[in-house]
Amino acid sequence: MAGILAWFWNERFWLPHNVTWADLKNTEEATFPQAEDLYLAFPLAFCIFMVRLLFERFVAKPCAIALNIQASGPQIAQPNAILEKVFTAITKHPDEKRLEGLSKQLDWDVRSIQRWFRQRRNQEKPSTLTRFCESMWRFSFYLYVFTYGVRFLKKTPWLWNTRHCWYNYPYQPLTTDLHYYYILELSFYWSLMFSQFTDIKRKDFGIMFLHHLVSVFLITFSYVNNMARVGTLVLCLHDSADALLEAAKMANYAKFQKMCDLLFVMFAMVFITTRLGIFPLWVLNTTLFESWEIVGPYPSWWVFNLLLLLIQGLNCFWSYLIVKIACKAISKGKVSKDDRSDIESSSDEEDSEHLGKNSHTATTTNGTSGTNGYLLTGPCSMDD
């Protein structure tokens, strides 16, 4: 075990040339990031999860009820013992052969059986009230942490000149505000890692899990090798659009359509500007080029930048989804359901016939108007 730990904490991997862990031990004059500080994130992640439960129950739920958001879910499938047994024990998505067999067994037409399975799958989806409570919690946290990050960073020299991220590196002391900011963000992402398995399930579950995993690794990695200054820039920049996203979702659930559309447009503009513009031109520029010039590369430097490039790849993917969804939503008479929609339509065939005849009156399954509902079942079900 001692040999494994010595290999893992090899100074030649983690630190620049001629720097040792002994050089970064805390002294009376200065405090530096220590790997053991990160253990604090686990109990704090549990505390954040408990605060979330209390917030959703005693703050978000009363707000939802005041906005007339009901706890009722999708339409309930009529009871049928045979179909229920197939659904719970065999498959939730029967193929054509099984559908034909069930049709003969029950003397139902295939379309009715397909509709039953769609309604039954939708019964397991959360209600609008549950969605609103989740979005309100995330909105509140994102707004708080982004506001804190801005207030903290505006007092730092590296916000105004990113070269300060690397001057005197890695002998940069850890301040109380920076430590709090980092541990809070890490704790929140750990809580998301675990709560994602109980939260509303969406089709990009794997992508979101990868995002949370990379975020945890990136925060941990940058803290251990004291790249925390540039790390705060990454965190604050990526928090900037999240509150708008959750606010747009809340407006959609409350059926404030004009507000929803406005918030979505604001979210899309901020997201694309920060993720595809400011992040590569400002943050990646300093991590790849300014740091190379001032400090020089070393093994963990390469890993850190690879993680940032992976994050940028995810940013490009989500920006593509946002643009694609927005373009489809504003095209005349061509509003359709997004692949990431939380609720399936009651009948694909019926919806197709309806859209073919009356595309200008298309509605989504949550009852909102076509354009607004389409936008919010798409990127506004996305979490970053």
pLDDT digits (tens, 9 = 90+) for 241-298: 999 999 999 999 999 988 998 999 999 999 999 999 999 999 999 999 999 999 999 9
Choose between 157 and 127: higher pLDDT.
157
Residue 369 backbone dihedrals phi, psi, to 5 degrees: -65, 160
Res 254: pLDDT: 94
- Tell me what pLDDT residue 75 has: 75
Label residue 381 by pLDDT band (50, 70, 90). very low
* pLDDT range class, residue 200, cuts 50, 70, 90: low
**Rounded distance between C-alpha atoms, residue 251 and residue 319, angstroms:** 21
How high is the mean pLDDT of the chain? Answer: 85
Q: What is the pLDDT of residues 319-373, one digit of tens each?
A: 999 998 888 877 743 333 334 444 444 444 343 333 334 433 333 333 333 333 4
Q: Which residues contact 25 (CB under 8 A, 6 or more apart)?
A: 32
Residues 6+ apart with CB under 8 A from 171: 23, 24, 30, 32
What confidence score (pLDDT) does residue 201 get? 66
> For residue 367, what pLDDT is reported?
36
Structure tokens at 118: 């769609």
**Residues in the chain, overall count:** 384
In the prediction, which pLDDT does 247 show?
Answer: 96
Q: Which residue has the higher pLDDT, 174 or 88?
A: 174
User: What per-residue confidence (pLDDT) applies to 348?
Assistant: 42
Which tops the pLDDT comparison, 15 or 125? Answer: 15
Task: Give pLDDT, residue 65.
Answer: 94
Query: Which residue segments constitute the domains of the chain, with CATH numbers given?
Result: 32-66+127-332 (no CATH), 81-124 (1.10.10.60)
